């Protein structure tokens, strides 16, 4: 035998030298829930260890995030008023708009601020756009999504991330941002977003479950791979700067496919259900939380992701620091 793969596995220092996948703190994005009210830091029951913050307590949370070595966050808003057309999504004094302004005032460019652009947290029916009968009206929704994105950027957001899955929304957002002088504001598109039961805990957290039906007429069918590429290519043509695949854990093949076929940075979102499963399994003593977190993260990067959105961002940053991953 002259070829022995085990030769390069003999000890940790050697294994690290020949490692094919590196994980870096600079590529982590931490999702944060911001809620109307004051003095609120409430734990999300289905996502232990994650919180809904009001704007006043948010700054402390962001400070902890920065201290952990994570400098990118994604804001999700939880308004106190909902209506048919989700007007709080694009209100100048909406929850996200005010939170963005406050966070920017406090941290400036030390914090890179991305906002989720969608309607479902803001509509009374919980769908990701305006309704016509029982169906989401694509083209009418585009205008509102673009207005939402513009209001976020005007408040100080560094990047917007549309997650609604309407056709043509990247172009609509790009055009409105450009017309208003924000040509340099990047768009990270949730381009390949599947209709997934893994979003369950998020919908509890944000109170955004649809009041009837499901999201299958706009989010993708998880049996499909080619269609994922189609969505990604379309969004790049419309002007998306970064393409996201979501969820991550059950979609590693899609991450790889997008990475191979497209020439833009790829992001993967390890969603609420992935977080909740790890937390629940660890609580029961069935799995070892820290090791699972590292393995899931390395898997996403190995599949090809450049950027990783995860509720475990702070933990991963710590594990990187400790030399356990990366
Ligand atoms: C808004 C949105 C959702 C998530 C991100 N943006 C929920 C959904 O599409 O139902 C899910 C994130 C997660 O589960 O962690 N449309």
Domain ranges of the chain: 21-321
Query: 318: pLDDT confidence band, cut at 50, 70 and 90?
Result: very high
Mean pLDDT, to the nearest integer, of 223-249?
98
Mean pLDDT, to the nearest integer, of 213-239?
97
What is the C-alpha to C-alpha distance for residues 257 and 300, in angstroms, rounded to an integer? 13
Mean pLDDT, to the nearest integer, of 287-307?
98
Q: What is the pLDDT of residue 316?
A: 98
Task: Decide the pairing of beta strands 188-193 and 131-132.
Answer: unpaired
- Ligand 1 atom at minimal distance to the Cα of residue 31: 15
Q: What is the pLDDT of residue 210?
A: 95
Could you tell me which CATH number the domain at 21-321 has? 3.20.20.70
Q: What is the pLDDT of residue 283?
A: 98
Mean pLDDT, to the nearest integer, of 129-136?
95
Mean pLDDT, to the nearest integer, of 53-61?
97
Asked if 142 and 119 touch (Cβ cutoff 8 Å), the reply is no
- Ligand 1 atom at minimal distance to the Cα of residue 121: 1
Is residue 193 among the annotated active site residues?
Answer: yes
- Please indicate whether residue 272, judged by its CB atom, sits closer than 6 Å to ligand 1: yes
Whole-number Cα distances in Å, 56 to 34, 38, 53, 61: 10, 6, 8, 10
Query: 167: pLDDT confidence band, cut at 50, 70 and 90?
Result: very high
Mean pLDDT, to the nearest integer, of 188-207?
96
pLDDT tens-digit profile of 93-127?
A: 999 999 999 999 999 999 999 999 999 999 999 99
Query: With pLDDT > 70 as the criterion, what percentage of the chain qualifies?
Result: 100
- Please indicate whether residue 268, judged by its CB atom, sits closer than 6 Å to ligand 1: no
Task: Calculate the average pLDDT of the chain.
Answer: 97
Q: What is the pLDDT of residue 92?
A: 97
Residue nearest to atom 10 of ligand 1 (CA): 199
Query: 292: pLDDT confidence band, cut at 50, 70 and 90?
Result: very high
Nearest 5°: the CA angle 80, 84, 89 is 50
Choose one of 149, 199, 273 to mutate for the ligand 1 pocket test, by most ligand atoms within 8 angstroms of C-beta: 199
Mean pLDDT, to the nearest integer, of 252-276?
98
Query: 238: pLDDT confidence band, cut at 50, 70 and 90?
Result: very high
Longest C-alpha distance within the chain, in Å?
A: 71
Q: What is the pLDDT of residue 52?
A: 98
Is residue 81 among the annotated active site residues?
Answer: no
Q: What is the pLDDT of residue 134?
A: 93
Mean pLDDT, to the nearest integer, of 60-81?
98
Query: 35: pLDDT confidence band, cut at 50, 70 and 90?
Result: very high
Closest CA to 309 of 161, 107, 168, 129: 161
Q: What is the pLDDT of residue 295?
A: 98
Residue nearest to atom 11 of ligand 1 (CA): 199
User: Cα(202) to centroid of ligand 1, in Å?
Assistant: 6
Mean pLDDT, to the nearest integer, of 150-167?
98
Query: 231: pLDDT confidence band, cut at 50, 70 and 90?
Result: very high
| Annotation: binding site for 5-aminolevulinate | 203, 215, 272, 311
State pTM to two decimals: 0.97
Mean pLDDT, to the nearest integer, of 253-280?
98
Choose one of 118, 197, 268, 308 to mutate for the ligand 1 pocket test, by most ligand atoms within 8 angstroms of C-beta: 118
């Amino acid at each position: 035998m002259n070829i022995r793969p085990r030769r390069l596995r003999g000890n940790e220092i050697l294994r690290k030298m020949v490692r094919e996948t590196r994980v870096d703190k600079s590529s982590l994005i931490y999702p944060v829930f911001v809620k109307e009210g004051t003095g609120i830091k409430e734990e999300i029951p289905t996502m232990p260890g994650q919180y809904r913050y009001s704007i006043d307590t948010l700054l402390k949370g962001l400070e902890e995030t920065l201290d952990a070595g994570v400098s990118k966050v994604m804001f999700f808003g939880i308004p106190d008023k909902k209506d048919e057309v989700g007007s709080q999504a694009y209100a100048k004094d909406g929850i996200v708009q005010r939170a963005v302004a406050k966070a920017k005032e406090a941290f400036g460019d030390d914090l890179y601020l991305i906002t989720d652009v969608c309607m479902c947290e803001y509509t009374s029916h919980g769908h990701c756009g305006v309704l016509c009968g029982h169906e989401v009206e694509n083209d009418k929704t585009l205008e509102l999504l673009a207005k939402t994105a513009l209001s976020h950027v005007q408040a100080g957001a560094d990047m917007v991330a549309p997650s609604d899955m309407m056709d043509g929304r990247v172009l609509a957002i790009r055009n409105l941002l450009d017309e208003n002088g924000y040509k340099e504001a990047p768009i990270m598109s949730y381009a390949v977003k599947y209709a997934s039961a893994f979003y369950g805990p998020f919908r509890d957290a944000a109170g955004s479950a649809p009041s009837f039906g499901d999201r299958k007429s706009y989010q993708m069918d998880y049996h499909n791979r080619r269609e994922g590429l189609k969505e990604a290519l379309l969004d790049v043509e419309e002007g998306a700067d970064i393409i996201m695949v979501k969820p991550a854990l059950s979609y590693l093949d899609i991450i790889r496919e997008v990475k191979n076929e497209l020439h833009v940075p790829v992001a993967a979102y390890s969603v609420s259900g992935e977080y909740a499963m790890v937390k629940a399994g660890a609580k029961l003593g069935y799995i070892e939380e820290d090791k699972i977190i590292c393995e899931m993260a390395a898997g996403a990067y190995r599949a090809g992701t450049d950027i990783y959105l995860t509720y475990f961002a702070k933990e991963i940053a710590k594990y990187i620091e400790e030399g356990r991953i990366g």
